[in-house]
Amino acid sequence: MKRIAVLTSGGDAPGMNAAIRAVVRTGLAKGWDVLGVRCGYAGLISGDIFTLGARDVGGIIQRGGTILGSARCLEFQTGQGRLAALSQLHQHGIEALVVIGGNGSQTGAHALSELDFPVVGVASTIDNDLYGSDITIGVDTALNVSLEAIDRLKVTASSHRRAFLVEVMGHKCGYLALMAAIAGGAEAVIIPEEETDPEAVATELRAAYGNGKAHAIVVVAEGARYNAEGMAQHFKTHQERLGFELRVTRLGHVQRGGAPGSFDRLLGTNLGAAATDQLVIGEHGVLIGLLKGEIAATPLAEVVANRKSLDLRPLRLARILAQ
Ligand code: F6P
């Protein structure tokens, strides 16, 4: 192996920069040339590819986002787009590609490896919904950002005896919402994996006031059937009967923009370094992730064919702890 490239794709995640830095510096230490691709698969198709040196990745480990830029590229989902990308890889003399990203990005990585191009994926998404890694780059920081918001909302909610609903990201997965609800001491949680209707939530909130609480916090996952919009609508329509108002805060992209904490810096570093080691072994077409506390390589074919399921046991715990 002489010449590799690295790209970040899909939603940016805090810790991606640590992974880029690790890929570049461990690649250079192996005596390789390392190139960066701007804006994910879009940059691969257009040939926006440049050489990266050790200094180019200096001072980035503490920064959120991705210095390479990212994109959701529809063109790469077509056969023509993929062939254009492959042609750019060949033109630049690139022998292997490291793809840092989540489900959509690893689907693209798998497609390239199906075209016989050596690819290694690195598990990165704040959603924690990627098969092949128990935890992905960005989750921990996004969770901490959510907690900071929930803690602050609780302060003002307690002062006014108000009920607040906080919507967190997670695509179709309830992991972020569930963990934020437990760690933030919320009174109720709504996730896509287990339907909860607004009336059941109202009962939980009433119980919180009944138990002498001065606040009532609901955490809802954006992918739930009754997300912030659905809940707000129901509570507004039935406010008189339900007996209280529900104020809504959508955290949205604020969660993705945080500076990575120590966990994501170390996870990004370890997974990025393991990706170049994987290229040395010569076994590609795999995703590098963390399974049972160990770095593990899972075939991309397996990653894209499976959906990671959410462990629902913490949901029962969340309800017990909310009393
Ligand atoms: O996959 C990460 C994520 O932040 C999801 O939680 C969210 O649904 C989505 O990306 C938002 O995508 P975009 O940034 O393209 O609006």
> By alpha-carbon position, which residue is closest to atom 7 of ligand 1?
171
Is the pLDDT at 1 greater than 80? The verdict is no
Q: Is 92 in the pocket of ligand 1 (CB under 6 A)?
A: no
> By alpha-carbon position, which residue is closest to atom 5 of ligand 1?
171
Is the pLDDT at 105 greater than 80? The verdict is yes
- Which atom, in ligand 1's list, is nearest to the CA of 13? 2
pLDDT digits 0-9 by tens, 231-260: 888 889 998 888 888 999 999 999 999 999
| pLDDT given for residue 242 in this prediction | 84
43 in Cβ contact with 92 (< 8 Å): no
Q: Among 9, 128, 145, 171, say which to mutate for ligand 1: greatest number of ligand atoms within 8 Å of CB.
A: 171
Per the rule left: phi > 0, alpha: psi between -120 and 50, beta: everything else, 123 is beta
Question: How far apart, in whole angstroms, are the C-alpha atoms of residue 91 and residue 288?
Answer: 27
Q: Is 227 in the pocket of ligand 1 (CB under 6 A)?
A: no
Percent of the chain with pLDDT over 90: 88
* Cα 162 to ligand 1 centroid, rounded to whole Å: 29
Q: Which residues, including other chains, have CB under 8 Å from residue 42's CB and lie 6 or more apart? A: 48, 71, 73, 75, 76
**What does 194-255 look like in DSSP terms, one character per residue?**
B---HHHHHHHHHHHHHTT-S-EEEEEETTSSS-HHHHHHHHHHTHHHH-S-EEEEE-GGGG
| pLDDT given for residue 257 in this prediction | 95
pLDDT digits 0-9 by tens, 156-174: 999 999 999 999 999 999 9
Is the pLDDT at 59 greater than 90? The verdict is yes
> By alpha-carbon position, which residue is closest to atom 6 of ligand 1?
170
pLDDT digits 0-9 by tens, 171-204: 999 999 999 999 999 999 999 999 888 999 999 8
| pLDDT given for residue 227 in this prediction | 87
Q: Which of 160, 125, 124, 134 is nearest to 244 (CA)?
A: 160
| pLDDT given for residue 104 in this prediction | 97
Q: Which of 151, 103, 141, 133 is nearest to 256 (CA)?
A: 141
| pLDDT given for residue 256 in this prediction | 96
- Which atom, in ligand 1's list, is nearest to the CA of 169? 6
19 in Cβ contact with 272 (< 8 Å): yes
Q: Which of 26, 25, 8 is nearest to 278 (CA)?
A: 26
pTM for the predicted model, two decimal places: 0.97
pLDDT digits 0-9 by tens, 263-319: 999 999 999 999 999 999 999 999 999 999 999 999 999 999 999 999 999 999 999
> By alpha-carbon position, which residue is closest to atom 9 of ligand 1?
171
Is the pLDDT at 124 greater than 80? The verdict is yes
Is the pLDDT at 143 greater than 80? The verdict is yes
69 in Cβ contact with 38 (< 8 Å): yes
Q: Does residue 116 have an active-site annotation? A: no
pLDDT digits 0-9 by tens, 210-223: 899 999 999 999 99
Task: Give 41's DSSP letter.
Answer: H
- Which atom, in ligand 1's list, is nearest to the CA of 72? 15
Burial 135-147 (b: 16+ CB within 10 A, else e): bbbbbbbbbbbbe
Phi, psi for 257 (deg, rounded to 5):
-90, 5
Give residue 34's pLDDT band: very low, low, confident or very high (50, 70, 90).
Answer: very high
Task: Give 1's DSSP letter.
Answer: -
